[in-house]
Chain A
């Protein structure tokens, strides 16, 4: 087909869209339109399946509802184009420019190539959008399941409720992207940047993480099941895991412990959560008094008003945990890392030791924070009376109004200006 014939087809298509006489729907399927200038056209509902549109220029063109099944759009310029509800399954779109484009509800799923003769395994055909520019593009509710978006730039893109199950997102730049309610289950996010991205309510279960940058990302209410958060940088991220995201054995241990507490040890079992990964859990108001939790990972956990009386948390990772108003009398926090933790108005005092008759013996069991790292921790108004803080690192810790009466600060790293703010 000559360029003039293509223009005639497009002309008749525009008449068809306007329901005028002589119009007909454009069928450019399978044609080689590589490098064609097709910008600012109305190609709504056009048939372009299998067409070679590589290096074509389609800036501002309306391709909504178009059929671009398995089309080749490599290095195409689609800036500000409208591709709403377009069928782009199995399309090859490497190095294309979608900056500001609207791909709302576009279908970019992959497919399977199955040999009818042999009974071998199917070959996966992914929609290939790797190395594409999609900054500020709208991909709301788009289906990108299994798509290859590796090394693409999607800064500030809107992917709310998009389906990205099993997508290849390695090396993608999703900084500031909106991914609320998106399904990223099983996606590969290694070397991806999601700094400041909105991921509230997103499904990240089973995602592959590795050198993933999630700084300042909002992950509140996100499904983080089977996710190795240790492989991501979560500095400043908003994050919480519900109890549901924990493994069944851990959930059972927690349930049994609550029974053990409420039944005063007659029934239930004391929790053994040594080295357990409870990072970013939302456990506000939980009672884990007496639990064995040494070396447990509670990084970023929300533990406001929780109870840890006589709990063994030696060597635990409590970095950036929120323990405001927690009751932690007699707790063992030897060598625990509480850097950046919020312990404002927490109770870290001593427990009265009672005799077999249940009466107080007059002796006290103090909270033990020997060697604990409390760098930049917020201990405003915390009760640390009689606590053992020998060798503790309190560099940059806020101690305004903290009660330190009888506390042992031998060889603790704390300067006088900090202590001056404390309530002695």
Chain B
């Protein structure tokens, strides 16, 4: 009997923790069925953080890969894989499951800011779904692609 009470307490504590943590809450709700507004917001918030980080580093990254330095291998593009709240590879299925599309991400403030930064640097920015693994049917992931230099 004592063991039964303990289990209930532990379960109750776990649920409380989930409700306090937005990413855990979103994941917990995702298991139950319909995506909620909160889940979508959590995802957009997670992606927003990543877009903000790309915004901070893009100028340096581009400088590193274009043929400006002797001996550097001239590359034609930069690809930043986007990740989910748990750091998992973000597939188009996962995004669609939350009722989100590329348009929603492109309409976010962080994406617009990154687009403005790329514009100032004469670069092109786009969201792209890419197959990169050997079995493309299984992994169609979401990437930010930056290019535009010759």
Give residues in A with beta carbon < 8 Å to B.
Answer: 30, 32, 49-50, 52, 69-70, 72, 89-90, 107, 109-117, 122, 124-125, 143, 145-146, 163, 165-166, 186, 206
Contact = CB atoms under 8 A, between A and B. Distances in A.
Q: Which 6 A-B pairs have the closest CB atoms?
A: A109-B76, A111-B77, A166-B73, A89-B76, A116-B80, A145-B74
Contacts of A50: 128-131
Given A116-B50, A122-B61, A30 B76 contact: no
B131 A165 contact: no
B78 A114 contact: yes
Instruction: From A72, A113, A114, name the one whose CB has the most chain B CB atoms within 10 angstroms.
Output: A114
A52 B129 CA distance: 12
Interface residues of B, number: 33
B80 A70 contact: no
B79 A111 contact: yes
* Interface of A: prevailing SS: loop
A30 B140 contact: yes
Interface string B54-95: 100100010011010001011111111111000100000000
A125 B73 contact: no
A89 B75 CA distance: 9
B137 interface: yes
B130 A70 contact: yes
26 contacts: A32-B136, A50-B130, A52-B136, A69-B145, A70-B131, A72-B136, A89-B76, A90-B76, A90-B77, A110-B73, A111-B75, A111-B78, A113-B80, A113-B132, A114-B61, A116-B51, A117-B53, A117-B83, A122-B61, A124-B73, A125-B79, A143-B76, A145-B74, A146-B73, A163-B74, A166-B74
A30 B137 CA distance: 10
A332 to B, nearest CB: 41
A116 B65 contact: no
A165 B67 contact: yes
Contact of A111 (B64, B76, B83, B129): B76
Given A50-B130, A117-B50, A110 B83 contact: no
B121 to A, nearest CB: 15
B144 interface: yes
Contacts of A117: 50, 53, 83, 87
Contacts of B53: 116-117
Contacts of A30: 129, 131, 140
B132 to A, nearest CB: 8
Contacts of B82: 116
A387 B2 CA distance: 112
Contact of A116 (B76, B81, B131, B145): B81
B131 A145 contact: no
Given A52-B136, A117-B83, A109 B130 contact: no
Contacts of A186: 71, 73
B75 A112 contact: yes
Contact of B79 (A49, A52, A112, A143): A112
A72 B74 contact: no
Contacts of B61: 112, 114, 122
A113 B79 contact: yes
A169 B144 CA distance: 30
A165 B70 CA distance: 11
A52 B144 CA distance: 20
Interface in B83-116: 83, 87
A165 B73 contact: yes
A132 B50 CA distance: 38
Contacts of A113: 79-81, 132
Contacts of B132: 70, 113, 125
Interface string B29-40: 000000000000
Given A109-B74, A166-B73, A114 B140 contact: no
Contacts of B145: 69
Contacts of B83: 116-117
A223 to B, nearest CB: 13
Contacts of A124: 73, 75
Contacts of A72: 131, 136
